[in-house]
A and B are shown apart, each in its own frame.
Chain A
Amino acid sequence: MNNVFVYCEIEDGQVAEVSLELLTKGRTLANELACSLEAIAVGHNLEGVAAQVIPYGVDTLYLADDKRLYPYQTLPHTSVVVKLFREKEPQIALLGATSIGRDLGPRVSSALNSGLTADCTSLEIGTHFDRRANKNYESLLYQIRPAFGGNIIATIINPDHRPQMATVREGVMKKSILDPKYKGKVVQLNVADYVDDSDFVVEIIERHIEKSRLNIKGAPIIVAGGYGVGSKENFNLLFELAEVLGGEVGASRAAIDAGYVDSARQIGQTGITVRPKLYIACGISGQIQHRAGMEQSAQIIAINTDPEAPINSIADYVITGSITDIIPKMIKYYKKNTK
């Protein structure tokens, strides 16, 4: 009872990366709280899920397996999770900040009248003293996230409502297997007890999910552009540099809003979090929302026309000038010195 729960997302029998990252974090939180880590997977053909998740330290895995439960649909998945949470009363529930988690999380939190914090960048256990009520709270979940366009960092707590719910983007937490031989229990839920036929009101006519996504997360070198790149055409220079160096192209939200590149390349709090060996930021001013997704890069080069750009303060190399001038020079001198 009152354990830490992780909702595991499944695509074609595979548990999503973000769910494994959350299980890793969930295990740490459960250890601190001296409670169990539990996981729920909802879908179809879930035989392989236990082997994928239990090594992360899952004590109990609940499976709701029914062919109508895959692909994901809002109402039936909400019904399963809400009912299970009412029975098990978890103190903490974590979901990926994905298309699924951001659809399911708020619905579940509303049904349970519990608090949900989106896109957390850090989760910690801490205490809280409520002066007005003169009440002390032990072991609350600190849900830490940038807000207000990333200009502030807020710590959110849910003192009186359970579960304390949070979503986290893929790549923000690190995944690590606790013990390949970890002993966890698997509980098959009787699906008919958890969903109602009236939950199945959506017909999925067509569904296309890309398997091989851009591998920006795994790229050792990232050439990223911001609004300052100026145009779609200028972005071609970034693609050229990335290709020469063997890297990938990323972008800030401003560049995506301006339509320079596809949103799949967005780096930052509401995009992908990356930790490459080298991050080349071109025409990126460096709001914290963007920095949250890249500041752990080993080396950072900032190229900006504005010598006062905030990103310069976290860069190893600061170059003031125009990318149309500087990038061709970088390509030229890279080629010259690697021959």
Chain B
Amino acid sequence: MKAYSIIVLAKQVPDTRNVGKDAMKADGTVNRAALPAIFNPEDLNALEQALRIKDRYPGTTVKILTMGPVRAAEVIREGLYRGADGGILLTDRAFAGSDTLATSYALSQAIKKMGKTDLIIAGRQAIDGDTAQVGPQVAEKLNMLQITYVEEVAELKNDTIILKRRLDRGVETVKCKLPLVMTVNGTAPECRVRNAKLLMQYKRARTITELQRENEDYTHLYNERSDLNIAEWTVNDIETDSSQLGLTGSPTKVKTIVNVVLQAKDSKVISDSDADIENMMIELIDSHVIG
């Protein structure tokens, strides 16, 4: 039976889904720093697809690749707790200000360095931007086929894969050959929870910068247990053309950002009493909005 080499692209994102009152500033705008940093939800769906292939084909390796600040190493630990074999944190100021294209370029150069890969799996999109661009752009940069919006791997045999896709208005089943970049939809199965044994095993996994920051002497532990070392790559660890990196390598520029402040409108505030509801319904009927 064939074993596969899989890379999961994951991103640490601010949890923009439920912006609570504590994350709102007095002027009605969002305090981004107050939002918790999480594993991008659809990247977890992607990880699950990778782990399912690993379950079925022993010997398969699943590595997580993430780009971001040092604290983004947390998504690699989360992956290890769920069954991933390792990961690489791509972190450097040279990547700061990257739009989706510059991000995709940096990721694709890291992927080239990671060696032969059968499958690259990413979430469809990240909740902080909702662009759904990085998966297809990484595929293009690597000159690989992409299959987007995957919900299920229906069959995998040698180098042939059958995938079920969820489209805006329907479904599609496609058959193609590896290697391949696939993006996974949020409608795909949820990721398994952390495994208690793996959590114990990897809770001290750290990147080099994290170790330096923690200022604790675990040196002996890391010398004995190489699996606790999370690889940290800077721009010097991959081959890059600096004109394609960061802000310089980003064709799109943010011209202006306007914080959304709620504008009040003349509203009728009514109670939930029978009389108030009945009056409202009568007003709506009389003005032909309903009825």
A interface with B by C-beta (< 8 Å)? 71, 74-75, 78, 98-99, 102-103, 105-107, 109-111, 113-119, 128, 142-143, 146-161, 201-210, 213, 221, 227, 245, 253-254, 257, 263-264, 269-270, 277-278, 287-288, 298-299, 301-302, 308, 310, 312-322, 325-326, 329-330, 333-334, 336-338
Contact = CB atoms under 8 A, between A and B. Distances in A.
Given A157-B252, A207-B170, A330-B281, A106 B133 contact: yes
Contacts, number: 254
Interface stretch (B87-95, B136-144, B197-205): B136-144
B17 interface: yes
A278 to B, nearest CB: 5
A149 B19 contact: yes
B260 A313 contact: no
Interface stretch (B46-54, B68-76, B229-237, B266-274): B266-274
Given A106-B131, A151-B260, 16 more contacts: A99-B168, A106-B132, A110-B137, A115-B251, A116-B133, A147-B128, A204-B173, A205-B175, A245-B290, A257-B186, A312-B267, A317-B270, A329-B274, A333-B282, A334-B291, A337-B282
Contacts of B149: 99, 103
Contacts of B256: 154-155
A106 B130 contact: no
Given A205-B174, A213-B169, A257 B17 contact: yes
16 contacts: A106-B100, A106-B133, A146-B260, A149-B17, A150-B16, A156-B253, A159-B253, A160-B251, A209-B170, A245-B290, A299-B289, A313-B267, A317-B280, A319-B271, A326-B277, A333-B277
Contact of A318 (B173, B270, B290, B291): B270
Q: Which of A151, A152, A159 has the most CB of B within 10 A?
A: A151
Given A118-B131, A155-B255, A334-B285, A98 B168 contact: yes
B172 A204 contact: yes
Contacts of B284: 278, 299
A326 B137 contact: no
B1 interface: no
Interface in B80-128: 99-101, 104, 127-128
Contact of B260 (A109, A152, A209): A152
Top 5 A-B pairs ranked by shortest CB distance? A149-B16, A321-B272, A115-B251, A115-B252, A209-B170
A102 B132 contact: yes
A321 B272 CA distance: 6
A75 B143 CA distance: 10
Given A75-B145, A149-B16, A115 B257 contact: no
Contacts of A161: 251
B18 interface: yes
Interface residues of B, number: 79
A150 B255 CA distance: 17
B72 to A, nearest CB: 17
A96 B171 CA distance: 19
B141 A316 contact: no
Nearest to A213: B169
B219 interface: no
A149 B177 CA distance: 36
Nearest to B133: A106
B30 interface: yes
Nearest to A221: B290
Interface of B: 14, 16-19, 21, 29-30, 32, 99-101, 104, 127-137, 139-141, 145-149, 162, 167-177, 186-187, 250-260, 262-265, 267-272, 274, 276-278, 280-282, 284-285, 289-291
Contact of A330 (B29, B260, B277): B277
A74 B253 contact: no
A11 to B, nearest CB: 8
Contacts of B291: 334, 337-338
Contacts of B254: 154-156
A109 B101 contact: yes
Contacts of B140: 78, 106-107, 110-111
A75 B162 CA distance: 17
Given A158-B251, A205-B175, A151 B290 contact: no
Contacts of A333: 274, 277-278, 281-282
Nearest to B35: A149
A207 B128 CA distance: 31
Nearest to B21: A308
A204 B174 contact: yes
A118 B133 CA distance: 8
Contacts of B251: 109, 113-115, 158, 160-161
Nearest to A310: B262
B132 A118 contact: yes
B253 A158 contact: yes
Contact of A157 (B17, B135, B162, B255): B255
A128 B255 CA distance: 8
A253 B14 CA distance: 17
Contacts of A330: 277, 280-281
B169 A115 contact: no
A205 B272 contact: no
